[in-house]
Amino acid sequence: MTLPSHAGIVVIGGGIIGCSTAYHLARDHKADVLLLEQDMLTSGSTWHAAGLVGQLRSSASITRVLKYSVDLYKGLEAETGLATGWKMTGCLRLATNQDRWTEFRRLATTAKSFGMEMHLVSPEEVKRMWPLMNVDDLVGASWLPTDGQASPSDITQSLARGARMHGAKIVEKVQVTGFEMQDGRIVKVKTTLGDVACEKVVNCAGQWARQVGAMAGINVPLQAVKHQYIITDRIEGLATDAPTIRDPDRRTYFKEEVGGLVMGGYEPNPKPWMTDDLPNDWAFRLFDDDFDHFEQHIEQAMVRVPILEKTGVKQMINGPESFTPDGNFILGVAPECPNMFVGAGFNAFGIASGGGAGWVLAQWVVDGEAPLDLWTVDIRRFSGLHRDRQWVLDRTLEAYGKHYTIGFPHEEYESGRPRLVSPIYERLKAHNAVFGSKLGWERPNWFAPAGTEPKDIYSMGRQNWFGPVGEEHAHVRKAAGLFDQSSFAKYELAGPDAVTALEWVCANDVSRPAGRLTYTQLLNTRGGIEADLTVARIADDLFYIVTGTGFRTHDLGWITDHIPAGLDVTVRDITEEWGTLSLMGPKARDILSAVTDADVSNAGFPFGHVREVAIAGHTVRALRVTYVGELGWELHMPIDAAGEVFDALMAAGKPFDLKPVGYRAMESLRLEKGYRAWGSDITPNDTPFEAGLGWAVKLKKATPLLGRAALEKVTGAPLKKRLVTFTVADADVVLVGRETILRDGEPVGYLTSGGFGYTVGANIGLGYVRNADGVSDEFLEGGTYELVVADERVPATLHLAPLYDPGMMKIKA
């Protein structure tokens, strides 16, 4: 078959993700779509997938994506005439211990927060629903009635037919061999059947997505892992509509198929395939059966379903699946190439995700921005670190091994550490620091008291750091703390048109004179918050931009992608060139004045200003700003000077009882002040008005602004949701986020952040209250509130102002 010489959008890969993306591009957007498949449709991972379809995730947007998949699969046969094998059997998740049961109680609350039906059922009810199961060790189970199962190949063929029906072209038996690039963009896709000129490319090449991306200089951090399951002979008494089973404490799953069972699992010692390029001829091939490795799952499965001891195995499937270093799939526009989009790395959730992922990815391709808050799956959550194949392998195998482990709050990955450390890492270790990891950086989460092992001990209740973090919190409130924030992402934007560029990208006014800094959001075309950062004007044509560690690739990409064409401006990532020490607390000025001759008085160095000061013989960019609600400065210095600056501050701070403090205390401190965190409290789904940040939007200024049109449309209209603060007085309650908010007994939203405020002596949660008719102060203050925490109601108090003010030691919560 010959290829067309041109296509508007070329989709690479004919698995479920590629076919779903092509289908939605053609159906929803009438796009000129060409799908290329190197072998036959469904080849790679799709054809041998187990086909379980679950929907609940910890993100509301990703749960919505998976719910969309179910709705699509229900009606696809009626549209295309091809069956999908969809069966809404429901899913039972089993709990055999109290920690797992607490996790399920929290998940039940999350499900209700996201509008999903989920029930907690007794072992007796499980036995009634699945009579062949041994329930002797169960505490209970969760029941999601709208989950189910499907035939991966049938769904893919149905999506492909639907794509063709709406005008998409699909060509099989054609391999992509490279790309013709021009000014960093793809202009042609090179194939074994000739070249195709195009405007955009969507890389849905499954386990080959990394190799396809590499042809265009793009990194797609995937690792193929050997995943096995068996198909049994028929089992007498097994209902054809038996619920799918996930037995995480035994690391196994089951689904009914043709009268028998499909059974597989996620072992703690997975086997990777290879880190080099995968062979192109692996379209419909499998690995040899590995019963020795799979025996651990068989042993657990026979305890759960005893009849398996007498049941034959019809077939073992041992095939490669693409997994990622954090267990989340990959969507979005590649940071290295503005017209290649990626949909890959589905961690054995490709069938569950396929319909919805294709829907949002198609919209992303057409609009150039995500239609929802898809940060948890955005390819721009990765960084240069993820080009290290060995690091990706190690971390991905750890993530695979955690697939069914209990999700303890605040749990850290352990592989590939330490990777990136600041110059004061060893000094902090000497202070008994307990480190966490963010985008490869080691960061002190808390400091263990003398005589205590510096180690996290995870639990579903208060963890072992709760007391020490409270001491650190109190210390910042009464004296001063020093935070190592060298992992902050840092950029310099320079050039004659620097102000013009930033005025378009930034919601707040950054045209202030040199020496000023601006807290601002970056907005999308919907008025949603795409980033939250600080812009310091160092000179007329030089700006220093600081943002969160994990947002390094995303925020830099957003800025560079949205600088208007033709402007004389450059942007440079200087993260590793600068260290950051944040000095915060009422004694901060006393300490800073002891190490510098600069005027750091309130008159000489007001809030919201940036100055260059000398500390320990080094020039330091001092930004007067705070994220804890106390007097403070971020001190940015050349990275190799960080150790000497730290030593100088600690020595000068000794009379003022200065101590190093970790990120867990910072989280508690910021919650008391109601400071927002991007990715949880403020997201691309939320406008500054809804988030209480309207004061940081320059609508009164007549300059062009990305997102202005969307905000102007809603200016003056009643807000349908607002971010507010809640407190819960019961100290035994643990808030972790996603708890349901009840107003007069009715659900009106859920918490986006949760923690404990040590100064106010109460649990604190931030969350959006929603009401279609408007959320006025009168509406908010006119209700009685509760939070649903681990499936139980607890009284809560709503607050419209920050809980803590530096002038008051405590506000009644």
Predicted pLDDT at 44: 87
Q: Alpha carbon 249 to chain centroid distance? A: 25
Report pTM. Answer: 0.96
Whether the bond between 418 and the residue before it is cis, its omega within 30 degrees of 0, is: yes
Predicted pLDDT at 636: 98
Is the distance from CB of 526 to CB of 368 less than 8 angstroms? no
Q: Residue 24 to residues 55, 61, 362: CA-CA distances in angstroms? A: 20, 18, 6
Beta strands, E only, 96-232: 119-121, 140-144, 148-149, 169-171, 176-182, 185-191, 194-203, 223-232
Closest by CA position to 667, among listed 478, 483, 805: 483
Q: For residue 641, give the 3-state DSSP assignment.
A: helix
Predicted pLDDT at 812: 45
| Distance in angstroms (rounded) separating the CA atoms of residues 643 and 423 | 6
Beta bridge partners of 13: none
* pLDDT higher than threshold 60 for residue 809: no
Closest by CA position to 342, among listed 563, 694, 21, 669: 21
Write the pLDDT tens digit of every residue in 88-124: 999 999 999 999 999 999 999 999 999 899 999 999 9
Element (H, E) at 177: strand 176-182
Task: Tell me the pLDDT band of 56, cut-offs 50, 70 and 90.
Answer: confident
* pLDDT higher than threshold 70 for residue 807: no
Closest by CA position to 278, among listed 322, 216, 318: 322
Write the pLDDT tens digit of every residue in 400-414: 999 999 999 999 999
Locus of tokens 């890969």? 13
* pLDDT higher than threshold 70 for residue 658: yes
Report, in angstroms and rounded to the nearest whole number, the Rg of the chain calculated over CA atoms: 27
Task: Express as a percent the part of the chain with pLDDT over 90.
Answer: 93
Is the distance from CB of 142 to CB of 107 less than 8 angstroms? yes
Predicted pLDDT at 639: 97
Helices (H), ranges, 200-285? 209-214
Least confident of 84-88, 123-127, 308-312, 538-542: 84-88
The 10 Å Cβ neighbour count of residue 88 is 17
Is the distance from CB of 634 to CB of 548 less than 8 angstroms? no
Task: Express as a percent the part of the chain with pLDDT over 70.
Answer: 99
| Distance in angstroms (rounded) separating the CA atoms of residues 210 and 49 | 20
| Distance in angstroms (rounded) separating the CA atoms of residues 2 and 795 | 67
Closest by CA position to 523, among listed 709, 358, 784: 709
Read off the amino acid at residue 464.
N
Query: Which tokens hold the place of 128?
Result: 């009634």
- CATH fold of 91-146+224-317: D-Amino Acid Oxidase; Chain A, domain 2 (3.30.9)
The domain segmentation of the chain, as residue ranges, is 6-84+150-222+326-381, 91-146+224-317, 578-667, 718-813
Closest by CA position to 254, among listed 301, 210, 319: 301
Write the pLDDT tens digit of every residue in 521-546: 999 999 999 999 999 999 999 999 99
| Distance in angstroms (rounded) separating the CA atoms of residues 87 and 52 | 10
For residue 9, count CB atoms less than 10 angstroms from its CB and return exposed for 0-12, middle for 13-18, buried for 19 or more.
buried
| Distance in angstroms (rounded) separating the CA atoms of residues 293 and 42 | 27
Predicted pLDDT at 282: 86
| Distance in angstroms (rounded) separating the CA atoms of residues 396 and 326 | 7
Is the distance from CB of 247 to CB of 253 less than 8 angstroms? yes
Looking only at the bridges linking them, the beta strands covering 762-770 and 721-728 are antiparallel
Query: Which tokens hold the place of 602?
Result: 């309130």
Q: 488: phi > 0 → left, psi -120 to 50 → alpha, else beta; which?
A: beta
Predicted pLDDT at 57: 84
Q: At 576, phi and psi to the nearest 5?
A: -80, -5
* pLDDT higher than threshold 50 for residue 813: no
Q: Alpha carbon 334 to chain centroid distance? A: 16
Average pLDDT on 227-234 reads 96
Torsion of CA 12, 16, 22, 26, to 10 degrees: 170
Write the pLDDT tens digit of every residue in 581-614: 999 999 999 999 999 999 999 999 999 999 999 9
Mean pLDDT for the chain overall: 96
Looking only at the bridges linking them, the beta strands covering 6-12 and 194-203 are parallel
Predicted pLDDT at 319: 94
Q: Residue 589 to residues 517, 599, 608, 784: CA-CA distances in angstroms? A: 19, 10, 15, 43
DSSP letter at 348? T
Task: Tell me the pLDDT band of 232, cut-offs 50, 70 and 90.
Answer: very high
Query: Which tokens hold the place of 70?
Result: 């179910």
Q: 90: phi > 0 → left, psi -120 to 50 → alpha, else beta; which?
A: left
| Distance in angstroms (rounded) separating the CA atoms of residues 695 and 55 | 38
Query: Which tokens hold the place of 363?
Result: 């919209």
Q: Residue 752 to residues 59, 114, 406, 679, 683: CA-CA distances in angstroms? A: 10, 12, 21, 9, 10
Spatial strand order of the sheet with 570-573 comes to 517-523, 529-539, 542-547, 489-494, 570-573
* pLDDT higher than threshold 50 for residue 422: yes
* pLDDT higher than threshold 80 for residue 200: yes
Class of 578-667 in CATH: alpha beta
Closest by CA position to 662, among listed 456, 454, 482: 482
| Distance in angstroms (rounded) separating the CA atoms of residues 45 and 348 | 9
Element (H, E) at 251: none
| Distance in angstroms (rounded) separating the CA atoms of residues 610 and 104 | 48
CATH code reported for the domain at 718-813: 2.40.30.110
Enumerate residues 6+ apart whose C-beta is below 8 A from 702: none
Write the pLDDT tens digit of every residue in 710-766: 999 999 999 999 999 999 999 899 999 999 999 999 999 999 999 999 999 999 999
Predicted pLDDT at 810: 46
Query: Which tokens hold the place of 401?
Result: 């091994």
* pLDDT higher than threshold 80 for residue 808: no
Class of 6-84+150-222+326-381 in CATH: alpha beta
Query: Which tokens hold the place of 87?
Result: 């069966």
Write the pLDDT tens digit of every residue in 423-477: 999 999 999 999 999 999 999 999 999 999 999 999 999 999 999 999 999 999 9
Predicted pLDDT at 745: 97
